[in-house]
Structure formats: structure tokens, C-alpha cells
Amino acid sequence: MHPASSIIVFTTLSGMGFGLIAMLGLGAVPGDRTAGIVACALAFILTGAGLLSSTFHLGHPERAWRALSQWRSSWLSREGVLAAVTLGVFSIYGAFWVFGAARMASIGTVLSLFAAVTVYATAMIYGSLKTVPRWTTGLTPLCYLLFAAAGGALLAAMLSCLLGQFSANAALVALGLMVAAWAAKFIWWRRADRTSLASIGSSPESATGLGAIGKVRLLEAPHSSPNYLMKEMVYRIGRKHARKLRLLAVALGGVVPVLGLAAVIGLEGGWPVLAVAALSHTAGMMAERWLFFAEAEHSVSLYYGHR
């Protein structure tokens, strides 16, 4: 499928933002009013930028609010509703922290739960699509949740160092989540490489219902020039390029952050190192999300002669 830049930015930044919100709800980034202002501002910026970016993928962004009405049947709508509720609860939590110099543990627990469910809903927008067999697995929401938690924990560790509240335990948690997230992604990739339309029995014969007659082939292209479906659903990427991008994603999104966290634990501080690690992780996650879409096979491609 075509990897739209707006969706890549959305899933990357909002995932890290909601991950940070979850970590703040659990008590990460200890500190006073100043710590609250810095941490809450960064979380709001990331989630806001991500959610705003998602509207650019719509034909009529001004009508985005209408998607919220279909929450009974649409994961996209549920994600929007949950994001709004999560940010509302986060505003209350942040207000107590910044203006009351107190962090409400009960609200924080609810906040973390809402943040996790929001990321799960985002993942299920894609994980629920049976037309894309690579995505329809429980590993898809698991990877989204682990990457959100890892990115949020990395940012929380960075902010703690920046505000003079270094915690080796926080860095260790971030390190563990980062390793777990990439381990899950490697398993996801292993399954994805063995999963195709053909592997689940989908073919031009099954798609057209003409299998009883014999092998179906495309006699003539239905369009003289590429149409919307061909641009969005029949996007192809070479295996060589995909392999290089996977290595880049792992190096930037996993290896650099892990080394940065390990170095900070050994040095007992050093927020610039974690800032570089966070930026590298963001770049690596964008490469990972680009591949998530670019390597996906949509069943509509069967109608254009793809096997």
C-alpha cells in the first residue's frame, strides 16, 4: 500500500506522545511545577502534531469531526473518541500537577489506561483489515503498544535527566521496553514474510469467482492511466530496498537508543545522549512505519493481475 507521509507522522508521533502520557500517569518524570510544565508540554506537542497530521490524509479535513460519530463500528472513530477523552483526562492530571503541585495517582492510573487503549485502537485501524493479511494478527497491536511504551519511556528518561532527576531504574525500564518492542517486531516481520494473499488462498480466481472455469488472467488493463486504487492499494517495493530500510529502522530506532540508554546508566546521567537517542528512535520509527504500509499487499491488487 502507498505509505502516506501524513499517516507515518501520525502513527509515529502520536504513539510516542501517548506513550509518554502513559508513563507520566504512572509517575515517571518526578519533579515540581517546572517538571510538570515541560513534560506535559512535550506530550501535548507530540500527540497534537500526530493527530493534526492524520487529518491531512482526508479528502476534506474540515469534516474530520464527523468520523467520531461511528464509534460503534469503526476503529478509526473509536481512536478519535479515545484520543479526545485521553487528552481531556491528561489536561486534568496536568492541571493538578502544574497548579496544585500534586500528582493524583488515581487519575494517573486511569490516564495511563486510556492512553494504552487509544494506541490499541490506532493499531486496530489496520489490524482489523482482513483485506491486508500481513496486518491481521495480534502482533500488530502488540508492536504498536510496545513501541509506544518504549518511546514514551525513553522520553521520560530523557526528561528526568534534563530536570536533574536521573533515575537508573527509569532508564532500565526504557531499555527493557525497547528490546521487547524490537523483539516483537522481528517476530512480526518473520510472520509477515511468510504471509501473502496466496498463502491465505486469495487469488484472481477466488476474487472474481471464476476459479471453476480455470486460471484467470488480466486480458486488458481497466484504465489507460493509474487510478486511485492503483496508487494507494497496489504500491510495490523491491525486496532489496525493503531489506535496507529494515536495517536502517533497526539501527536508528533500536540500536542507537539502546546504546544511549546503556551509556546513560553507566554514566549516571547525560540528557544530551538521550536526546540524540530519542531523535534517532523517532527517525527509525518513521522508517519502520513506512515499511509497514509499503510492504502490505491489499486484496484489491488481485483485480489488477497481481499474484
How does DSSP assign the chain, residue by residue?
Answer: ----HHHHHHHHHHHHHHHHHHHHHTT-S--SHHHHHHHHHHHHHHHHHHHHHHHTTSS-GGGGGGGGGGTTT-HHHHHHHHHHHHHHHHHHHHHHHHHHS---HHHHHHHHHHHHHHHHHHHHHHHT-TTSTTT-STHHHHHHHHHHHHHHHHHHHHHHHHTT---HHHHHHHHHHHHHHHHHHHHHHHHHHT--TGGGT--HHHHHT-TTT-----SS-S-SS--HHHHHHS----HHHHHHHHHHHHIIIIIHHHHHHHHHHHHT--HHHHHHHHHHHHHHHHHHHHHHHHTPPPGGGGGGT--
Mean residue pLDDT of the chain comes to 87
What's the pTM value of the predicted model, to 2 decimals? 0.89
For residues 86-95, give the mean pLDDT.
Answer: 96
CATH number for the domain that contains residue 297: 1.20.1630.10
Total domains in the fold of the chain: 1
Range of 37's domain?
A: 5-304
| pLDDT winner (highest mean) among 78-82, 224-228, 280-284 | 280-284
pLDDT of residue 233: 65
Per-residue pLDDT band for 54 (boundaries 50, 70, 90) equals: confident
